[in-house]
Amino acid sequence: MAIDISNDVKETKKEVSKERRLAQAGFTTVFQVEKYELDRDPAKCAMIGHDLMNNDENGVPKKVRVVFNASSDNVMGIQEYADENSLVHTMPGGKIRLDRVQERPDGTYEVPHMQRIQKKDGTRVDRAGIEHEMCIDRCWAKVIPERENRGRGPIAIKENSTGGKQSRGRVLLIPEDAKPITVTMGKNLDGSIKDAVKKAIELAPDKTKALLTFRVGQGSVLEMVVPNQTRNEAGDYVPVSLDEQLKRIERSDAYTTLMRVNKAKPELEGETLEALPGFQIDVFGMTHDKKTGQPVQGVPRVQAAVLETARFFKLPTQDENGNDQYKQSQFPEYRLSVVSYERQKNDSTNVATLTTLGKVPGHMPSPDAGESITPNPYFANKQVAQAEQASREAAQRKAQEAQNAPEQAAAQSQGNQQAQQPASQPQQAAAQAQPVDEELDAYDDMMEMDVDFDMDDLTQQLASQNL
């Protein structure tokens, strides 16, 4: 008799399919342009330069050749990046983020999407003569936009001082290689938290606000952002001292919550929590042109960053064409991303601002920066609904049996037991609902979503606002 390995084949095939899709998704990196090789045929154009996030055998950024394979008609290609009159023109020395890179056997990088990070090497000088330096990092990024209706409505769009309209928000960043800091519950919790805060302040880049993300279990976190500036009597923003920062965190929700739980549960003495050090920067993006009042081309910066990091849940249903459907989570999560941000070089401004963000393929959004994945609530609800339906059907069978054979008490008793058991299944189904493999595989399809906002050029935005 032939063996039955159908279940093994099914599971293994699913793993192989996932591995293939992850390989097809490629990787994200930052490329510094050295020179262009141009041709009338866009397919024969190339860029020569260095991969700043991958080193060669000598430990220096490896030199690579980049060719372009357009994923859509809206995406700028190598000719546009080389064109001095193009909005995305990038000079030798400038930097470009390469998305979904495929490395050919000869080492050539083939990319379907790019975004300029920096037009030229060095600092950028705005119209006011202020220098801005560019920073690049690979972090778990969480984008929190400013919303209407006290945070529960759509992303807010407000007029700025120049007459245009823009959206604003905050970005929480945890470097991929961040080492957790241990915080100990008990009588010394206050000191343990403040020691962690001091460490986070030491690690936070200049001009950013230090962040501590406390992992408190089951995918839940408490986030503590440490203020880095205050207003003086003249109304100007000035840096705050370390002592003042430690006093201010005592008024934060995260500190208050931990101290209250600690007081209510003395049995937690000696137990530990992980706190991930990171930092917070600002993000803004024009939504309407100040001259015309018309919406800007492409997806505005804040909205694009939200989409890029959002969690999309697969729905149990399909559309009329049989295609999978997805719904964006209303709660922001951390997504491994390559980010760039600017900070002013003068001492008077203690602010850093996001310029670009691109997700890293193969890593799902996570509520606690990589430790867990939020279960798909729509699949969980489907299981609960199926269990509830089974419970109703069992109850109907019980009533029918009782009506047809009232004399069979023993059979009726057995029917009662059978009817009672399915009634407990909804809770069991909800408790057992996990981010199953089919959900993970389905989510990989979302990597093909292309959020192109190259047209929303930061340099022009800053210049138009005299920043």
**How many C-beta atoms surround the C-beta of residue 114 within 10 A?**
27
Q: Which CATH architecture has domain 24-122?
A: Beta Barrel (2.40)
Q: Determine the distance from the C-alpha atom of residue 304 to the mean position of all C-alpha atoms in its chain, rounded to a whole number.
A: 11
176-203 confidence digits (pLDDT tens):
999 999 999 999 999 999 999 999 999 9
pLDDT value at residue 310? 94
Percent of the chain with pLDDT over 90: 56
Question: From CA 117, how far away is CA 96, in angstroms rounded?
Answer: 5
Distance CA(95)–CA(89), nearest Å, equals: 11
Higher pLDDT, 178 or 433: 178
Task: Return the sign of the alpha-carbon dihedral for residues 440, 444, 445, 450.
Answer: positive
Q: What is the model's pLDDT at position 393?
A: 67
CA nearest neighbour of 176 among 305, 275, 96, 276: 276
- Per domain, the residue ranges of the chain are 24-122, 133-373, 379-432
Contact predicate 207/351, CB 8 Å: yes
| 437 or 96: which leads in pLDDT | 96
Please give the pLDDT value at position 268.
97
Which of 434-454 are b and which e, b meaning 16 or more Cβ less than 10 Å from the residue's Cβ?
Answer: ebeeebeebbbeebeeebbbb
- pLDDT number for residue 448: 34
Q: If you write DSSP's letter for every residue of 397-435 in order, what string do you get?
A: HHHHHHHH-TT-HHHHHHHHHHHHHHHTHHHHHHHH---
Specify the pLDDT at position 4: 87
Q: Tell me the residue ranges of DSSP E strands in 249-328.
A: 272-288, 312-318, 324-328
- pLDDT band of 111, cuts 50, 70, 90: very high
Model pTM above 0.75: yes
Q: How many helices (H) and strands (E) does the chain have?
A: 12, 20
Range with the lowest mean pLDDT among 120-129, 289-298, 390-399, 456-465? 456-465
Residues 6+ apart with CB under 8 A from 8: none
pLDDT in tens, 343-379: 998 777 788 999 999 999 989 999 999 999 999 988 8
Cβ atoms of 30 and 98 within 8 Å: the answer is yes
